[in-house]
Amino acid sequence: MARAASQTSEDSEVLAGLVERVVFHSPETGFCVLKVEARGRREPVTIVGHAPLISAGEFVQASGSWANDRTHGLQFRASFLKATAPTTPAAIEKYLGSRMIRGIGPVYAKKLVAAFGDSVFDVIENNPGSLRRVPASAPSAPGRSRRIGRRSARSARSCCSCTNMASAPRAPSASTSFTAPMRYG
């Protein structure tokens, strides 16, 4: 029995990289399909796993094994998936541009990162009035200025201050990773 357990851990591979795109995510089950720019790979790889919340621009670490799906081709089936806050300007821009925060789209995210750099999350949380300095390309409605709600700002901060942004909706004392049994088929 111990031999079988050690054999499965030896067969497990670790993959890490930047989430380029979230192909699919089920909030109910946490099941997700991700396109990831993995270290040491030329082309983006498909990672299939479970995460309570995941967004483009996050850095993920996954352990699991490769499988060739009849319909979808080669994919990495993660038995463990951990996401961490974006740190590079390009990753922060991608994360903010993923429309996770109401009022911020790809164009405005680019402007915010250009204006505030990697401290943009602190500005959104602690000084959202400073965002008015950055002109929006088009206000949300004629005659109205862009507004990023206080609730959205808090969610941005909670997402970006913890080590695992995928667990952001949970309490701060929650585990920093999410592991769930894999179900296929």
Q: How many residues does the chain have?
A: 185
Q: Give residue 168's pLDDT.
A: 34
pLDDT average, residue stretch 63-83: 95
Q: Give residue 130's pLDDT.
A: 87
Ramachandran assignment for 99, one of left (phi > 0), alpha (psi -120 to 50 degrees), beta (any other):
left
Residue with tokens 């699991």: 64
Q: Which CATH class is domain 2-84?
A: mainly beta
Contacts of 178 (CB under 8 A, 6+ apart): 30, 50, 51, 52, 81, 82, 164, 166, 167
Where would I find the H helices in the chain?
2-11, 89-96, 106-116, 120-126, 150-161
Q: Give residue 135's pLDDT.
A: 85
For 109-167, how does the pLDDT look when each residue is reduced to its tens digit (9 = 90+)? 999 999 999 898 888 889 888 888 888 765 554 444 455 544 454 445 444 433 333 33
For 80-112, how does the pLDDT look when each residue is reduced to its tens digit (9 = 90+)? 999 988 888 988 998 888 877 778 888 999 999
For 28-54, how does the pLDDT look when each residue is reduced to its tens digit (9 = 90+)? 999 999 999 998 899 999 999 999 989
pTM (predicted TM-score): 0.64
Domain boundaries, the chain: 2-84, 89-161
